[in-house]
A and B are shown apart, each in its own frame.
Chain A
Amino acid sequence: NAGVTQTPKFRVLKTGQSMTLLCAQDMNHEYMYWYRQDPGMGLRLIHYSVGEGTTAKGEVPDGYNVSRLKKQNFLLGLESAAPSQTSVYFCASSQQGRRKAFFGQGTRLTVV
């Protein structure tokens, strides 16, 4: 009964470092999403995937890359972290696009 699982839950990076956030869902959902949440900004879509092997840009894709090699996993990569990428990142999945998305617990990333 895991739903959507994100790893890690917390991370501190130095400017210029790279990292990958992993999202796994066990609901056999087609759609997966990465959002970032910043104070006063609400949730903003970074990238999304409509199925295994597909990815697409969302609202704020710059500085991030994603991959969906397996249906259950959606990876978010930061190639060269910047302080502006300090945020809480949420992964979500849904069976139908834009409907009833299930969210993970979030990853709190700090870039110093």
Chain B
Amino acid sequence: GESVGLHLPTLSVQEGDNSIINCAYSNSASDYFIWYKQESGKGPQFIIDIRSNMDKRQGQRVTVLLNKTVKHLSLQIAATQPGDSAVYFCAETDLSTQGGSEKLVFGKGTKLTVNP
């Protein structure tokens, strides 16, 4: 089955609020995680990544938190804007795997809707 999933398939927030999108993973060997944003009719767009030797990483208006103990990561978007409306995917992989598949395991996505 899918080893990376999301707690909520949809999330609706008001413009200006902070958004939190969650992701659970089951492979304890995963050591690299990525968040992607996919707008309607477009390809996924890289947002931010994090290695397992970090608990937190910040970007522009986004923060990714990683809790290896419970195998959970989250994407926080500050001051959410209408342009943030999209589907957000988390993906995981084990970078220590040598010579194997280049497979990234993607979650099914959370649809974020920002209400004006």
Contacts and interface: CB of A to CB of B under 8 A. Distances in A.
Interface in B34-88: 34, 36, 41-46, 49
B15 to A, nearest CB: 27
B46 A42 contact: no
Interface of B: 2, 32, 34, 36, 41-46, 49, 89, 91, 93, 95, 101-104, 106-109
Contacts of B101: 45, 48, 56-59
Contacts of A99: 32, 34, 49, 95
Interface in A34-89: 40-45, 48, 50, 56-59
Interface of A: 4, 31, 33, 40-45, 48, 50, 56-59, 90, 92, 97-106
Main secondary structure of the interface of B (DSSP, over half): loop
